[in-house]
Amino acid sequence: MAVSNVQPTGIERTFGEDEIIISKTDSTGKLTYANNIFLDLAQYDEDEVLGQQHNLVRHPDMPRAVFKLLWDTIQAGEEIFAYVINMSKVGDHYWVFAHVTPSFDANGNISGFHSNRRVPEPGPLAKVKDLYKSLLAEEKRHTSPKDGMEASHKMLIDILTENDVTYDEFIFSL
């Protein structure tokens, strides 16, 4: 969980269609780079984010299952696309469509990760909000966060299986 006690304000922050929010992390998820658009939206100064874990901008409405899928995928050396709601320093939120990729060193080992985020399209985003509400409700039915995450991860995998699609196919079908 993020270390901060800041609560969501319900106020949405937006950014331009021509803007890209960029951050880079080391192989453990600690921020090594954030561009100015990232800093503006998240309402942090650069020295407050560098060296911090990326869950600094975690919003409590994000299902744990999505982050499990994200980490399982990028640690396996693959890229992933994901819709994410993030929280700024004061508790405002902003939705993004993220493309997260691993970076490799000369020996082919993962040296860190890179995320580019754009404004999500309203149509897919509305469907994602419904999906995330269901996943989050499933997580909250369990007292242990681990059990909750496993249950919502299973819910997500079952949806993919029922529709006979991969996660990527599903995301781009929204």
Q: Which residue ranges make up the site for ligand FMN (CB under 6 A)? A: 1, 23, 25, 29, 54-55, 57-58, 62, 67, 71, 84, 86, 100, 113-115
3 DSSP assignment: S
**Which residue number, 68 or 165, has a Cβ lying nearer to ligand FMN?**
68
| Nearest distance in Å: CB 151, ligand FMN | 16
Q: Residue 114's beta-bridge partner residues?
A: 24, 101
| Nearest distance in Å: CB 98, ligand FMN | 6
Beta strands in 9-166 (DSSP E): 21-26, 31-34, 80-87, 93-104, 110-118
**Which residue number, 13 or 114, has a Cβ lying nearer to ligand FMN?**
114
3-state class (DSSP) for residue 49:
helix
**Which residue number, 54 or 153, has a Cβ lying nearer to ligand FMN?**
54
**Which residue number, 61 or 158, has a Cβ lying nearer to ligand FMN?**
61
Which long-range contacts does 45-50 make (Cβ < 8 Å, 24+ apart)?
Answer: 48/89
Residue type, 32: T
| Nearest distance in Å: CB 163, ligand FMN | 25
Query: Tokens 């990527």, residue?
Result: 168
